[in-house]
Structure 1
């Protein structure tokens, strides 16, 4: 089946997904029914997963392969989260091809490469690469089109959809919850296309939303923003806590370049504002935001960047075109592409004038719309005013590519979110556990290169601690971390018994979220959450009990290792 057919299958009207449905629940067939005194339909499953991002998909696949019946909801019409609907090529560590992620995640990456090998007119040189990188980007070892990831994810979910073990509710937003004591009884989801509501009931619920939306709805205790140094004793924590100090989010944009063409868009309505905008940061920003200079994340010293959409060298400066390039035309037979395709997710379109977490719907929409104006203004600036190596200004051959992101405006379907609500967890990962400098202070070893060993590890990951400019005017915070583990305690809310996180909402701090928030780690968190629900149901115990009882924990860790999840980094 080709990519177009996959995508068409995935994006058909989601309203039909709940009509006349029969579900298998704990071994019995249960029809979808109407609730008493309500027009809402009820669907039942073993686990309800809210959010179809990488964590949600991984949780669903893990639960499904362990014979659970799953309902998966998603606000947009695409699954895949930051990799698809948000338009962010995978940020991964240098060992990703062989270890440091789950086997399922590696299978997913392999399937993306196979998709290109089977369906695209690649050159022999590209076909002969051990690890094909369609975009040959500077930031990712597998930069590719969001639609390909979408097709591959749907291919992985398709057998379960066909067997009705999985119900996928696209364009459905969770709007309410029924909670009794420390247990969630059901969630209410609204179909964003027709306004109809459906009640979702299960023994377990997983919050894989981008902003941790289930936490306030279920009255699960959570934190937002930055903790103080007094609270966490972290080396890089601020002196004063600030729940509203949250990382920038980004509305990504897709573009290609057609030499000799003229594709200049209408001037964005807020262009004059953004063209003259100078961020007020502490420490100071490098100048105007729409510029080929920025603050180096590690040193905060002004640093020059380059831009050339034909991929030409830009001296010592990084060519931003190559940074998140998803199609490099030289990988494909001559004539396939007129030019390369790239994603704009740069310092220049990070939006930090407001937050998405903990605000009203109108405030949310306001900031998203302003962030869209920022991205469009940056694109217009590149078309008309960006300095060229030949001394001219602007690249009119740049073209918006909404089709790459499944939109009409060329912008991503959903904001790229770097920080969400975080559960108050049984165990919270601190900088002293994973930060290189803080770890050395704790251990007394200047060259200590080992993160904390968690007895309850349910996965591993790695990324440097990377916090983008914040809504409270903090400049970058970017420093070394160590290859780390994912502790089970960070997936367990302190009080709620049957709700698990599967995204950026686990028990981290504002600081450590910076290394637990990227693609393969989110996937690992989701896969562990999906397996935990299956194990808890089979053993008829609560997830907390799995951690509390050593024999159960060892059995669970043995199970997840048998399913391709490493709990320790190789020595």
Structure 2
């Protein structure tokens, strides 16, 4: 059966949403047990090695106070611990990597340190307990209530029964949902189901966005750091999807918005823009920000179209099938690296960049590959589901999406869907700055489980704009406050949402804690 552990709130999953949920619940005075399958908390920010994808206003507004604190702490970590040039140190908006994808491109390990620092007072006081390398195995359910979840330490195989009044699912794939028999949706819905213009004609529950196994590189010209030829290199070298303009291992891929072929370079070339350089895309260390000799090279993270893996889903399949696809995704990433080192065409007419060095230390793994970046989760059948019409400029007349009276946060990002396991190309369409409705965090039936990550009530389409770092943080943070509020007042989440007085009171709590629940006045874009 396993040892019993009790807390006020169990947070399953220690990614971006889970960490934010544990932090807000502990700040509310509640005890928290947070599980995490890997060695690192932080998800996208850390062990998946994805620098923050954010909206244009992130430096002024459009995120929670604690997410802004996280961003400030990352910048101060570099100022306090790294030999930064004065010209960079004095920049209010220091960007350590100067990658163009984000105003804050940083190393995963720095984010990890900052997150642990933010949780440290609560861990030391016993408010928060983190169980690394623990995976959900089962759940005990009584009617419409989850009584406990069973987790197993993947190294020792010891099991623990986690009891609490509330359970927050912040796992990368929504793993609490099947374990507790909570109704959920996967894959792509149909137009008939959602009315969304971008939805499929027929639903496909196994049609999910690709996953990516990211890795970090630096470049030492004149040196040879070529890795061993990957086992599956011959397959990936010749692989050409029907919807792709060239072989996957090439510099050419579809431009996401138009699907026209886009040929890019590894390094910036004269006469071309910075977005044509893959190296500058997610660069996390710009060596010119630091004192001479600190870094021998820039460091960049490879999360590029060439490593998107869509040959099969990594959940809603058997454990063996999941493991097979994750291993194949790793082989794709290694094959792309090997291709770049040995065969990639160069502007000077030569082939290969053997000076590309796999930086295993940056992601903290023996093989140098990050944990799989999973863009799409199981999604609860929620009290309210956000569909494309709620956020599309084709359906909304203003400069923001539909107004939700039960808002518990805000976010903004394009609907950005990567190639999928259904052999579908990018879907990249406009969306308006949006709100996060409380109803999307609450399952229709089960009373004491709250979505705290990408598993909220969205569709395959709208997960494309609700899945990014500041939004996932906001979802988790609001879920943690909601659970704490319900415990304090002896309520269920659905009671808070559906009682005007209670809803307003809870929203006031969020606002007092620095959660923005509505957008300020924005000019039309």
- The equivalent of 1:549 in structure 2 is 499
Q: 2: distance between equivalents of 1:481 and 1:53? A: 25
- The equivalent of 1:315 in structure 2 is 272
- The equivalent of 2:262 in structure 1 is 303
The question of whether the paired residues in 2 share the 8 Å contact of 1:435 and 1:465 is answered with no
Number of matched pairs: 520
Among residues 21, 33, 39, which one is paired with 1:77 in the alignment? 39
Give the TM-score taking structure 1 as reference length: 0.90
Q: 1: distance between equivalents of 2:514 and 2:444? A: 28
Asked if residue 520 in structure 1 is aligned to residue 477 in structure 2, the reply is: no
Q: 2: distance between equivalents of 1:62 and 1:425? A: 22
Q: Deviations over 1:126-180 (max 9, x none)?
A: 1121200000001011101000000000001111111111111011111110001
Give the TM-score taking structure 2 as reference length: 0.98
- The equivalent of 1:491 in structure 2 is 441
Runs of 4+ displaced beyond 2 Å: 311-317
Among residues 111, 114, 120, which one is paired with 1:158 in the alignment? 120
Secondary structure class of the residue paired with 1:436: coil
Q: 2: distance between equivalents of 1:238 and 1:190? A: 38
Asked if residue 417 in structure 1 is aligned to residue 374 in structure 2, the reply is: yes
- The equivalent of 2:172 in structure 1 is 210
The question of whether the paired residues in 2 share the 8 Å contact of 1:313 and 1:319 is answered with no
Secondary structure class of the residue paired with 2:151: strand
Among residues 408, 417, 421, which one is paired with 1:471 in the alignment? 421
Cα deviation for residue 409 of structure 1 reads 1.2
- 1:72-221 to 2 correspondence within 5 Å? 72-221=34-183
Asked if residue 503 in structure 1 is aligned to residue 453 in structure 2, the reply is: yes
Secondary structure class of the residue paired with 1:274: helix
Among residues 372, 375, 397, which one is paired with 2:333 in the alignment? 375
- The equivalent of 1:54 in structure 2 is 16
Q: 1: distance between equivalents of 2:265 and 2:269? A: 10
Cα deviation for residue 193 of structure 1 reads 1.2
Cα deviation for residue 449 of structure 1 reads 2.3
Asked if residue 460 in structure 1 is aligned to residue 405 in structure 2, the reply is: no
Unpaired runs of at least 5, structure 1: 1-37
Q: 2: distance between equivalents of 1:315 and 1:383? A: 23
- 1:388-467 to 2 correspondence within 5 Å? 388-412=346-370, 414-437=371-394, 439-440=395-396, 445=397, 448-467=398-417
Cα deviation for residue 253 of structure 1 reads 1.0
Unpaired runs of at least 5, structure 2: none
Q: Deviations over 1:509-533 (max 9, x none)?
A: 0000000000000000000000000
- The equivalent of 1:324 in structure 2 is 282
Cα deviation for residue 313 of structure 1 reads 4.4
The question of whether the paired residues in 2 share the 8 Å contact of 1:255 and 1:410 is answered with no
- The equivalent of 2:342 in structure 1 is 384
Comparing 182-191 with 382-391, which one deviates more in the overlay? 382-391
Q: Deviations over 1:535-555 (max 9, x none)?
A: 111110101000111000000
Cα deviation for residue 395 of structure 1 reads 0.7
Secondary structure class of the residue paired with 1:300: coil
Secondary structure class of the residue paired with 1:554: helix
Secondary structure class of the residue paired with 1:534: helix
Among residues 63, 88, 91, which one is paired with 2:25 in the alignment? 63
- The equivalent of 2:245 in structure 1 is 286
